[in-house]
Amino acid sequence: MADQQSFAHHTKWVAGFHGFVLPALTLNFIWSIYQFIHRGFQVDGFINILTAAALVLLMFYARIFALTVQDRVIRLEERLRLEKLLPDDLKPRLSEFTREQLVGLRFASDGELPTLARKVLTDKIEDRKGVKQLIQNWRADHLRA
């Protein structure tokens, strides 16, 4: 795991999930469809397709659920951090930050956060990618799902 993170190098790659589970379940789903087509309609083949589809959906939902919980925790952490670091004139505007903005701001260093937070609200930068691209002093986050 690299100590340095930046916008270009901050996504998390989990070898077991992205490199094995995702391709294996996708291949299983495709193979189930292939077998069903080439063997003709059989109840077993249909059940194999349903099971493979359920596993693929389960994989995606498990990932989405984990990322949603992570975003909720980040939202809480960033609101607490902003309460501590924002100047008094910006503190009443804490409720204006969206989840996407807060998730993007988590990578900003403490010194950069107040200025960047003001810019995000003033310029109405809504997406996390846009917020992340503005960060100059990156604060690494290695505890992501």
Mean pLDDT, rounded, of the chain? 89
In a domain, residue 10? The reply is no
In a domain, residue 1? The reply is no
In a domain, residue 3? The reply is no
In a domain, residue 6? The reply is no
In a domain, residue 4? The reply is no
Given a cut of 50, whether residue 35 has pLDDT beyond it is yes
Given a cut of 90, whether residue 114 has pLDDT beyond it is yes
CA distances, 87 to each of 44, 54, 84, 136 (Å): 65, 50, 9, 20
What pLDDT is stored for residue 25 in this prediction?
94
Fill in the DSSP letter of residue 90: T
Q: How many CB atoms lie within 10 A of CB 55?
A: 17
pLDDT tens figures, 63-104: 999 999 999 999 999 999 999 999 999 999 999 999 999 999
Given a cut of 50, whether residue 2 has pLDDT beyond it is no
Q: What is the pTM of this model?
A: 0.71
In total, how many domains does the chain have? Answer: 1
Range of the domain at 126: 15-134
In a domain, residue 9? The reply is no
